[in-house]
Structure 1
């Protein structure tokens, strides 16, 4: 098997990453956000809170 390397500019890589996630179903995106949040809390506080308050801040138009 031959190894293959592709050089990609950073801004192109970011766009590929964004496109990938935009193609995913909403439920898959939410699962990933939940997984990342859980891992972050476990790393930061060594535990995940029992309850997380839902706060939404909107910027004025």
Structure 2
């Protein structure tokens, strides 16, 4: 098996990442945000808070 390396500019990778998530259904995006938030709080505080403010910020394109 031959190893393959692709060099990609960071800006291109970021745009591809943004485009991927913009193409996902809203329910899938919210599910992923919830998963990430849960994992972050478990890592930071060893527990998940009972209340979290619901704020969503969109990355400017």
Scaled to the shorter chain, the TM-score interval is 0.7 to 0.9
Aligned residues: 56
- TM-score under structure 1 normalisation? 0.78
Q: Structure 2 vs 1, CA of residues 22 and 34 (structure 1 numbering), >3 Å: closer, same or farther? A: same
Larger radius of gyration: 1
1:6-58 C-alpha deviation (Å, 9 max, x unpaired): 110000000000001011000000000000000010011100012224468xx
RMSD of aligned residue pairs (Cα, Å) = 1.7
Distance across 1 between alignment mates of 2:14 and 2:55: 28
- TM-score under structure 2 normalisation? 0.78
Q: What stretches of structure 1 move > 6 A for 4+ residues in a row? A: none
The match for 2:20 is 20
Residue 54 of structure 2 is aligned to residue 39 of structure 1: no
